[in-house]
Amino acid sequence: MLEFIILGFLMCGDTSGYDLKQWMTKSTSYFFDASFGSIYPALKRLEDKKLVIFNESVQGNKYKKIYQITKSGKETFMKWIEEPITFEKSRQDHLVKIFFYEFLSKDKAIANLRALIEAIEPVVKNLNSQKEEAAGQYDLYQFYYRYATMDYGINYYHFVINWCRDMIKKLETDPETDRSQRFKIK
């Protein structure tokens, strides 16, 4: 997937690996993120497949490789993007722990759910800020699909927060939800 994201950004124009990471941080990171340690090997794989080329440049005291998508890279990207979407279940590691919360005390489960909410809230705030900034700077119809994925991310995180709040409310008000006594470690 990372290689296609890189090709997609290069469809917009030539750029460095560093700038690719910055673009990802500001746009795709809420649904797909990659480190520099993943981006540069992916660029090398794309280069080996002749889907991208690079030019060397020096800007200030810094040596940069500026990557450009090739005709073959554009064709590969367009072939991929034209294929129907395949829905995949995504990994949601936070749910794995919550699945086993019956082993925790109610108080610890509530504390952990509150901590999860607190971790997500700044992400939502950042996305809302980016959304407002985008609305003020860009023609949203030109970037309609990018803007729509940002909306998806915001709505997803709101769902997780509300779901956690509903669980907390149920845990606080329904004594039947406390099952941890059955699993005391002896």
pLDDT above 70: percentage of residues in the chain: 95
65 phi/psi in degrees, rounded to 5: -105, 125
* pLDDT tier, 179 (very low <50, low <70, confident <90, very high otherwise): low
Residue 142 lies in a domain: yes
Of 51, 82, 113, which closes a domain? 82
Residues 106 and 145 in one domain: yes
Query: Of 48, 38, 47, 42, whose CA–CA distance to 68 is shortest?
Result: 47
Residues 25 and 54 in one domain: yes
Say whether pLDDT at 141 is over 80: no
Residue 19 lies in a domain: yes
The radius of gyration of the chain's CA atoms, rounded to the nearest angstrom, is 22
Position with higher pLDDT, 114 vs 58: 114
* pLDDT tier, 62 (very low <50, low <70, confident <90, very high otherwise): confident
- Tell me, what's the pLDDT at 112? 95
- Tell me, what's the pLDDT at 76? 94
Residues 78 and 154 in one domain: no
- Tell me, what's the pLDDT at 51? 96
Round to whole Å and give the CA distance between 21 and 27: 10
Of 33, 58, 82, which closes a domain? 82
Of 22, 57, 82, which closes a domain? 82
Round to whole Å and give the CA distance between 68 and 139: 25
Task: Please tell me the total count of domains within the chain.
Answer: 2
Residues 129 and 175 in one domain: yes
**Tokens standing for 163?**
């779901």
Residues 55 and 127 in one domain: no
Q: Record the pTM.
A: 0.70
Mean pLDDT of 152-175: 92
- Tell me, what's the pLDDT at 115? 95
Instruction: Give the neighbor-by-neighbor strand order of the sheet with 62-69.
Output: 15-16, 62-69, 52-59
Residue 26 lies in a domain: yes
Residue whose entry in the numeric block shows the structure tokens 């279940």: 89
Structural domain boundaries, residue 17:
2-82
- Tell me, what's the pLDDT at 58? 82
- Tell me, what's the pLDDT at 149? 84
- For residue 163, count other CB atoms closer than 10 A to its CB: 15
* pLDDT tier, 10 (very low <50, low <70, confident <90, very high otherwise): very high
Residues 104 and 172 in one domain: yes
Residue 105 lies in a domain: yes
Under DSSP, the state recorded for 182 is: G
- Is 70 buried (19+), middle (13-18) or exposed (0-12) by CB count in 10 A? middle
The DSSP string of 84-147 is PP---PPP-HHHHHHHTGGGS-HHHHHHHHHHHHHHHHHHHHHHHHHHHHHHHHS-TTTTHHHH
Which bin fits 160, alpha (ψ -120 to 50), beta or left (φ > 0)?
alpha
Residue 11 lies in a domain: yes
Residues 75 and 116 in one domain: no
Say whether pLDDT at 186 is over 60: no
Contact (Cβ atoms closer than 8 angstroms) between residue 109 and residue 164: no
Residues 117 and 78 in one domain: no
Say whether pLDDT at 20 is over 60: yes
CATH number, domain at 32? Answer: 1.10.10.10
For the chain, what is the mean pLDDT?
A: 86
Residues 78 and 100 in one domain: no
